[in-house]
Structure 1
Amino acid sequence: MQTQFPTPQGLLSSTFEQPPLDGSLLLPEIFDHHAQRSPNHPLFHYVDADGVVGTIVWLQAVQGFHNAAHIIRRYVNVESPERRPVVGVVASSDQITYFSVIAGILRAGYQAFPVSPRNSDVGISHLLQSTDCTHVFVSPDSATQKLVAAAAAKLSGLGKEINILPIPTFEDLFASDSPEFMPPMRKIGLDAPAVILHSSGSTAFPKTITFTYRILMESGLIPYYGRIDLCGHVLSAHAVPMFHLMGVIQLPWTTFCGLTISVLPPTSPPIVPTPDRVFDGAIATKSSLLFCVPAFLESWAREPHRLAALKSFRTVIFGGGPLQPAVGDMLVQHGVHIAHVYGLTETSNLTWFLPESAPKEGWDYFYLSPHTDPVFVPLEDIPGVYHLVIKKSPIHTPAMLDTVVDGVPGLNTNDLFVQHPTNPNLWKVYGRHDDQIMHSTGEKTNPGPLGKFHAGVLVFPAEPIDPADAQQVIEFRRQIWSTVEEANQLAPTHSRLFKEMILVADPSRPIELTAKGTPRRQAVLNIYQDEIRDMYGAVEESSQTHLTAPEEYDFPATLQFMRHVVSEVMLEMPGDDDDIFQHGCDSLQATWIRNSIFHAFRKSQRVDMKTIPSNFVYSYPTLRLLADLFTQLASGSGSKPENVSLRADAMQAMAHKYTQGFPAHRASAEKPEDEVLLVTGTTGALGSHLIAHLLDLPEVSMVYALNRPSSKSTKSIQERQRSSFVANGIDVHLLESPKLKLFEANLSLPRLGLSNEDHGSLRATVTSIVHNAWQVNFNISLSTLEPLVAGTRHLVDFALSSPHPLPPRFIFISTAGIFRNSTGTVAPEEHVAGPKIAVGLGYTESKWVAEEILETAAQRTALSPVVIRPGQLSGAANGAWNASDWFPALLKSSQLLGHLPALSGRASWFPIHHAARVVAHLRTSSDHYLHITHPQPIPTSDITSALSHALGLPLVPYAEWLESLEAASLQESAAASNPGVRLLDFFRAYREVGPKQDMFSPAGLANERATRAAGWMLDVAPLAASDVDAWVSHLRQVRYLD
């Protein structure tokens, strides 16, 4: 009785009869089954020289297989019928002939060994010797003949003789009108070896991998666990080499499933499969499925007419390497159904076979097939990354078993994966465990996902150049830079390439290639080890040293220089007035831009480098602003004073932009009985404490926590939330509450980046919104933060779309920093009408704009917002303090400088866990503006004295400490090691204040309304030395402080 499969194959076909699936017939015996039961079912389609589609049906094909078996038997005659010799094939041959020769070897009862002609002669001799292969069929082309002859000569010297045989031609196999069929096969067990494949040998000699008849059968049954009945479909396999797994697997797929394959026409010499030929052949043969390597797909995507035609395929399958993200995105956007096939030679295909379209969560993710028994083992040294082990099971047998999991033999694939953050069944390839490169910084790079590119790359020019000629090397690097940029799109930040890291190969040094046609990595590294060492030694820290400052310091020349600098660093070139951070510039690229400009102008000696703000790339985030800044500096006029009015105008303009066309609130449901909160930004300290407190409230029935996807972590949102709870000393069992649901969202997108279903569910149930998510970075500009402002407006629209009688209450976590330019003594808990009071930091400017959106919405709509402005929040009960905040940065920098600054004024810092409780309490307040500060402030000198004792550092006047920090900032590597350097302008803004003034704020914050609404605030104990000790202890515990 046969197993019931999820997706039977060929049951509805009038030409194909499904063969026995229980192992009672071996693969070559099923060939004969189809000759009798499926004689007219098509096996091959091809387009001949006249453009006519030719077809070979199963009866014709099996006749060719038997003809091949007879030829093979004549050449490889064995004395004992029990002996099953290994018969090799090293050939450049058309696919129909190659397919038929392998089938003929199996039908003869022998073992087939297709060998890549891309191996070296040494590699081939190793393979032949390790398999005891003495007969090899070779194609007539001189290159392959010489290759195999050289391999045979090496073995002859070891006393082993190789019989080099001519591979049969297409005519030899298919021209006969009266083929002679082979006698029935003698009994061979399912676990007997059938086909031998080999690895690519990228790092050593290629290793052999043996497929038994059981593995061939299991490979043929993979589609039975998939999503498509292959029978009746035509798969374009024009680009697939038959010596590869994806070539050999066509034998069981066609045999067990009734799949028809389209190929290039049978000619000698064979036609080379170029992207154009493959595509045209697929279209002409009316293929419904198309398999190709990513490079072909990338080529087609660049041609509009081919891009449009790709939509006609049911599925476009790619594998064997990574597809450029931009290409994958474009294909999906244009409606092309792409599917990533992942597998190993040892395991065959492992992915769910041919879903109708790419996962909605991301085309580069895939599901593993139900026929597999995978185990994902977390890596200890890289959180969120897993290596895959495939366990042997009754329906899947890896060809190699090298480990044991749960008492079951399995294969450690050595492939690394990351799990989709919201769909745990989806996975994406991360790299190879055994190919990790450890940088001197402690970062790791996996070269697997990057193809041929690494943090430093060795390139082999198609047209050799002299690597000793510096000018030739510079020109070559320029020519290939677009390709390098494509590789950079796949690389993590710390692995991106710059021109200085490109080493050009020496044409006088030959190298060995693997079966895939790629250089053998370790052998090449050995050959070029001296050059690689010298290259790393020559590259100066984080700067492009080949760039020189403009000869003329007028604006046009300086602007052109800035364009050059940025074009060398960024993948996408922004316009002169575009915010570079809105165009993908990250912190590493900003550092390269800063240091490259710094290096060039320092060499020119035309600019006093002390006058350059340390964060100038963030403060002047467009090419025009950068050029204007350095034109002013070079002319001797110094840094142009900030134009407060211009920045205020920009704030007003952004507020106006996001206060147009508020939707009307239309009630269509009754008042809800349950209190349901939507909270944004819960993976930070305040957000974590807030949801923990809300979950404890009996009146709250549900908390929806929305967080943006992390660009720095592969952890799921659940893992990130748990990590935050642990770091902040919060009971992680609260995360198991049925009252909590976590979402990854993007507030700047329509529907908040949620699915239609989730968005609709939240809209129908949410009664209060706490908008806490914001980017805390004192370096970036207002324009860079505009997506957060847009997100605030989207949340307002979301609230107004509620069907409830009243829109959800909107609580916005602003900042006391909007009073940075206040001239009063106390800042009131009221609306701040003018923008100039917040000018100076993009962070405070963006918060003012968000407040203005809410104020305007309150005036024009039914929305009732509450704006909460926290002052400085201090560490949690366990001492946890976000290491990216200014205070830990001050402590770390002080350790590096050897002294602490003496700070004046008073500290009204409020512990963050208490602040979260206040926010939860104030969610129902009738007041619209409230401040959270400590009702019992203490002298800041009490804190610095306790810090001096805890850290063992002397106190110095603030001006002296700042001078030391500025001196440190002149070192090019300072920004990477000294966090205070990145906040230099923030620290420059500090001035001595009186004993009744808050530090970093000329005005104190009124908090009468907040303390009246939450009277228990008055009972919170003043800060003490014990709090300081807890902060320092925690920062040491997380290894931020020494």
Structure 2
Amino acid sequence: MEGDGHGIEELRQMDMVGVGGAALPAEIGDRLVKNGVHLISRFGSAECGFLLSSNRDFDVDKDWQHLRNYNPPKLLDFEQREDRLAELVIRPGWPHMAKQNRSDGSFATADLFAPHTTIKNAWLYHSRADSQLTLITGKKFDPAPLEDAIAISSHLDDVLIFGNNRPYPGALLLRSEQSNNVSDLELLNAIWPVVEKLNGESQDHARIRLEMLVPLVHQSQPLEKSSKGTMIRRAAESRFEDDIERAYGAQEHDQVVDVNDEDLPQHLTGLIQTITSQSAELSEDTDLFSYGVDSIACMQLRSSLRGLVPNSTDQLPMSIVEDCGTIRRLTDYVIRKRHGESNTDGEDEEQLMLDLVKEFGSWEQSASEDTLNRSRDKNAAGELVVLTGATGGLGAYILDLLQKIANVDTIYCLVRGADEDVAKERVNKALKQRDLESLVEGPSAKVKVIPAQLSDERLGLSDELYTHLAKKATSIIHVAWTVNFRLKLRSFINDNITGVRNLINLALNEHRSTPLRFTYCSSTAAIMHGPLDESGCLPERLLSDPSAASPLGYSRSKWVAEQICAEASKRTSLRGRIAVVRHGQLAGDSVSGVWNTKEAWPMMLSTARLIKCLPDLGDEPVDWLPVDTAAQAFLEATGVNTGSESAKAEDISIYHVLNPHQRPTWHEMLQWLHKKKEEFEIVSPQEWVKKLEEYDSADHSAMKLLGLWKDSYGNGPGEAKQRPQFSMVETRKHIPALRDVKPLDEAYLGSIWKWVQENVH
């Protein structure tokens, strides 16, 4: 009817024209709406009946594909998922519900939607969660839009993108009949520009390398499709299983590439730019992770490196890219391997730690005597707080508390983001995920979200804003930090360690009678291997020996940052105005149990649903601190909530924000969960790892930690190591929130368990 003038006229006369089932092509729907047809899209399911439609004010609203949710959230809700998508969930009480798949009686549909950018409660269908590809890293993406975009070529009948339980994706190119005699090279030359453009627009982990494009001959039997016209993916993957295996096999057994030692830097530069789909300048000393090399790119790069080193299949460490971190160091590594030299990294990381403190902890300004005898101006205006890390768990809770403090006038959140809208969306997402109130909009809003770059000398801010913050800010709270335990110390220099220095420089930019307060969020890992005090605890003071930090790059970077803060306190007008807060393991909200779906402990607990068992970690203490308690303690350390001087006037202050109790143990927690009639076995850690390895799907976020757990528990429980205790004497004096921390109880851990079962997938 759409192609017939008379048919269009008939449709235009109708009050409403609905479509459902198989998707109506967007261009056809757009033409109908443009010609005055009141077109709506309808959405439902066999389990729950009719759910949504795009019924709207047809005169002013032309978005016929966006479904409107006029139902209360208690009946029909959209739960946030990765990549700005949300899953439709039907709550108990919906009038037609033939099936439930959650313990609370709700039904998670596995249908993913994208929100409209301006229309509230308007959602565009995106894909099925269960049709997404899940890489071995746990990263997911929907291949269908990419397949459709590539298959437009007249050279192709169809495209199958693969990658389930693999490190990176590839694509089978099914030739059209008329292109059956076109050579593979000609076909790839025709298709690659399209793929290259899509790579630039796609998520990093969805990028497809040229080497992973696999041309196939014309297929007399087309790919199997469902009644809705979508590919039956499992059937297609099974049909072409051998071709997929060969694609990865070719990558795993690369031929030796003939590149001279002198040409290695240029070769590696081109390789990395191709893998990351970037053309920005890449020097030999650029930090690869700042440039955009993620975990998937590391795997692809490692695969290519094997072709540069003869007979090296089993000799390249899995973490070779992370360990080197720059083109110069990768080049040195390859050359040493080629010439049979030792592969030991000659760099002493502990010496590097000391060198970094010297480089970033030197200031010309010195502390003057009047900085020791100052008091806050009683007529000063309210607090102006600069906060980093508001998109993380602790930072989101700190932001939520700051908004509720009467004497805080303005909060500037410095956030990574291409523009203000993207940055604000990231903060709102972090708040919503934790059931915290969204930001208030409008010119009088207390919170101002600013896109920033902490590695930039001026923090990526305009001169006007930088000067304003330097003059008016009363407190800087620095929480943002890269949490990646695979990275070496060197990879924390550019964005993290440099960021500490730049934020302290902001605090020192203007000379004023009352310098602002600077609070740095450190970690107990920064001194985990340090000497104990006379009470047998790790002390509430700086430890000058770099060996005090645990050997992870993350821990060492935290130690370096602490020392930089100490140098600033000793040598500048910030003397006595700096506090370092070392936090331990944080956990879910003390009431709701809301935690972080990407943390290891929730992921471990979630495996009970996958393999019906959990590991018995014996007397491992469950000494987690609820994140809302930690946020309150953190604010008390800053003095923002009272305007008081939390830091001791003569020195830097060190606080330990953690749960000091050694009970309950992990075994006791599992027994409590068993009392709730939860159906899982308690097995040895080794058996638990084995069952995870046998689980035949990567379609669960916990699977990306399998390698870590295998290293920790795969060879048996090993010897239980008693963790050191941390002194909290000074902390309790200055931070009321930590004076009466109780051991975690059964009710709280039950709320954690409930949240994990509903949210960690």
Which TM-score bucket, shorter chain as reference?
A: 0.5 to 0.7
Q: Distance in 1 between matches of 2:116 and 2:436?
A: 29
**Paired residue for 2:244?**
539
After TM superposition, the structure 1 = structure 2 runs for residues 606-1005 of structure 1, keeping only pairs within 5 Å, are 607=314, 615=319, 617-622=321-326, 646-660=348-362, 672-709=380-417, 716-731=422-437, 738-786=445-493, 787-802=495-510, 804-822=512-530, 824=532, 825-838=536-549, 840-863=551-574, 864-877=577-590, 878-893=592-607, 896=610, 898-924=613-639, 925-927=646-648, 928-941=653-666, 942-946=668-672, 952-958=679-685, 978-981=703-706, 983-984=708-709, 987=712, 992-993=719-720, 997-998=722-723, 1003-1005=724-726
- Over 3 Å counting, the alpha-carbon distance change for 1:345 and 1:782 in structure 2 is farther
- Over 3 Å counting, the alpha-carbon distance change for 1:759 and 1:407 in structure 2 is same
Answer whether contact 2:686 2:713 (CA < 8 A) is retained: no
After TM superposition, the structure 1 = structure 2 runs for residues 81-160 of structure 1, keeping only pairs within 5 Å, are none
Q: Distance in 1 between matches of 2:411 and 2:689?
A: 44
Q: 1:443 aligns with which of 119, 142, 153?
A: 142
TM-score by length of 2: 0.65
Q: Which string of whole-angstrom CA distances, capped at 9 and with x for unpartnered residues, describes residues 557-586 of structure 1?
A: 997998897576332486666543232122
**Paired residue for 1:1032?**
753
Secondary structure of the residue that 1:862 maps to in structure 2?
coil
Q: Which string of whole-angstrom CA distances, capped at 9 and with x for unpartnered residues, describes residues 269-303 of structure 1?
A: xxxxxxxxxxxxxxxxxxxxxxxxxxxxxxxxxxx
Q: CA deviation at 1:673?
A: 3.4
Answer whether contact 1:907 1:938 (CA < 8 A) is retained: yes
The residue type paired with residue 875 of structure 1 is G
Q: CA deviation at 1:684?
A: 2.2
Q: Distance in 1 between matches of 2:43 and 2:201?
A: 24
Q: Which string of whole-angstrom CA distances, capped at 9 and with x for unpartnered residues, describes residues 612-643 of structure 1?
A: 76655434444676688799999999x96777
Secondary structure of the residue that 2:62 maps to in structure 1?
strand
Say if 2:297 is the partner of 1:589: yes
- Over 3 Å counting, the alpha-carbon distance change for 1:494 and 1:473 in structure 2 is same
Q: Distance in 1 between matches of 2:126 and 2:438?
A: 36
Q: Distance in 1 between matches of 2:542 and 2:296?
A: 38
Q: Distance in 2 between matches of 1:752 and 1:1032?
A: 40
| Aligned pairs, number | 621
Q: Which string of whole-angstrom CA distances, capped at 9 and with x for unpartnered residues, describes residues 445-464 of structure 1?
A: 64599996986586999xx9
The residue type paired with residue 943 of structure 1 is M
Q: CA deviation at 1:764?
A: 2.9
Answer whether contact 1:905 1:992 (CA < 8 A) is retained: no
Q: CA deviation at 1:727?
A: 3.4
Q: Distance in 2 between matches of 1:209 and 1:881?
A: 42
The residue type paired with residue 777 of structure 1 is N
Secondary structure of the residue that 2:348 maps to in structure 1?
helix
Q: Which moved more, 1:845-854 or 1:913-922?
A: 845-854
Secondary structure of the residue that 1:752 maps to in structure 2?
coil
Answer whether contact 2:150 2:195 (CA < 8 A) is retained: no
Q: CA deviation at 1:961?
A: 5.0
Q: 1:1011 aligns with which of 732, 755, 761?
A: 732
The residue type paired with residue 387 of structure 2 is V
Answer whether contact 2:629 2:737 (CA < 8 A) is retained: no
**Paired residue for 1:548?**
253
- Over 3 Å counting, the alpha-carbon distance change for 1:887 and 1:346 in structure 2 is same
The residue type paired with residue 487 of structure 2 is I
Q: Distance in 2 between matches of 1:932 and 1:659?
A: 25
Say if 2:203 is the partner of 1:492: yes
Answer whether contact 2:385 2:473 (CA < 8 A) is retained: yes
Q: Which string of whole-angstrom CA distances, capped at 9 and with x for unpartnered residues, describes residues 196-218 of structure 1?
A: xxxxxxx98997999xxxxxxxx
Q: CA deviation at 1:552?
A: 10
The residue type paired with residue 618 of structure 1 is E
The residue type paired with residue 443 of structure 1 is D
Structure 2: where are the runs of 5+ without partners? 8-23, 45-52, 68-82, 85-114, 135-140, 154-158, 162-170, 221-228, 640-645
**Paired residue for 1:184?**
none
Q: Which string of whole-angstrom CA distances, capped at 9 and with x for unpartnered residues, describes residues 972-1004 of structure 1?
A: 96997613225348847996445xx33xxxx32
Answer whether contact 2:362 2:567 (CA < 8 A) is retained: no
The residue type paired with residue 142 of structure 2 is E
- Over 3 Å counting, the alpha-carbon distance change for 1:682 and 1:800 in structure 2 is same
**Paired residue for 2:89?**
none
After TM superposition, the structure 1 = structure 2 runs for residues 206-221 of structure 1, keeping only pairs within 5 Å, are none
Q: Distance in 1 between matches of 2:219 and 2:259?
A: 47
Report the RMSD for the aligned CA atoms in angstroms: 5.7
Answer whether contact 1:681 1:771 (CA < 8 A) is retained: yes
Q: CA deviation at 1:1036?
A: 1.2
- Over 3 Å counting, the alpha-carbon distance change for 1:473 and 1:821 in structure 2 is farther
**Paired residue for 2:138?**
none
Q: Distance in 2 between matches of 1:809 and 1:789?
A: 19
Secondary structure of the residue that 1:677 maps to in structure 2?
strand
The residue type paired with residue 831 of structure 1 is L
Secondary structure of the residue that 2:406 maps to in structure 1?
coil
- Over 3 Å counting, the alpha-carbon distance change for 1:622 and 1:801 in structure 2 is closer
Secondary structure of the residue that 2:349 maps to in structure 1?
helix
Answer whether contact 1:975 1:981 (CA < 8 A) is retained: no
Secondary structure of the residue that 1:764 maps to in structure 2?
helix
Answer whether contact 2:418 2:451 (CA < 8 A) is retained: no
The residue type paired with residue 779 of structure 1 is R
Answer whether contact 2:174 2:218 (CA < 8 A) is retained: no
Q: Distance in 2 between matches of 1:852 and 1:642?
A: 25
Answer whether contact 1:558 1:630 (CA < 8 A) is retained: no
**Paired residue for 1:274?**
none
- Over 3 Å counting, the alpha-carbon distance change for 1:1015 and 1:916 in structure 2 is same
Q: Distance in 2 between matches of 1:829 and 1:1034?
A: 34
Secondary structure of the residue that 1:411 maps to in structure 2?
coil
The residue type paired with residue 539 of structure 1 is I
Q: Distance in 2 between matches of 1:379 and 1:707?
A: 38
Q: Distance in 1 between matches of 2:697 and 2:333?
A: 20
Q: Distance in 1 between matches of 2:738 and 2:152?
A: 60
- Over 3 Å counting, the alpha-carbon distance change for 1:709 and 1:444 in structure 2 is farther
Q: CA deviation at 1:539?
A: 2.5
Q: Distance in 1 between matches of 2:557 and 2:42?
A: 40
Answer whether contact 2:605 2:614 (CA < 8 A) is retained: no
Q: Which string of whole-angstrom CA distances, capped at 9 and with x for unpartnered residues, describes residues 909-938 of structure 1?
A: 322111111111111322411111224332
- Over 3 Å counting, the alpha-carbon distance change for 1:947 and 1:662 in structure 2 is farther
- Over 3 Å counting, the alpha-carbon distance change for 1:415 and 1:485 in structure 2 is farther
The residue type paired with residue 745 of structure 2 is A
Answer whether contact 1:542 1:592 (CA < 8 A) is retained: no
**Paired residue for 2:288?**
580
Larger Rg: 1
Q: CA deviation at 1:729?
A: 4.0
**Paired residue for 2:275?**
569
Q: CA deviation at 1:862?
A: 0.9
- Over 3 Å counting, the alpha-carbon distance change for 1:748 and 1:1026 in structure 2 is same
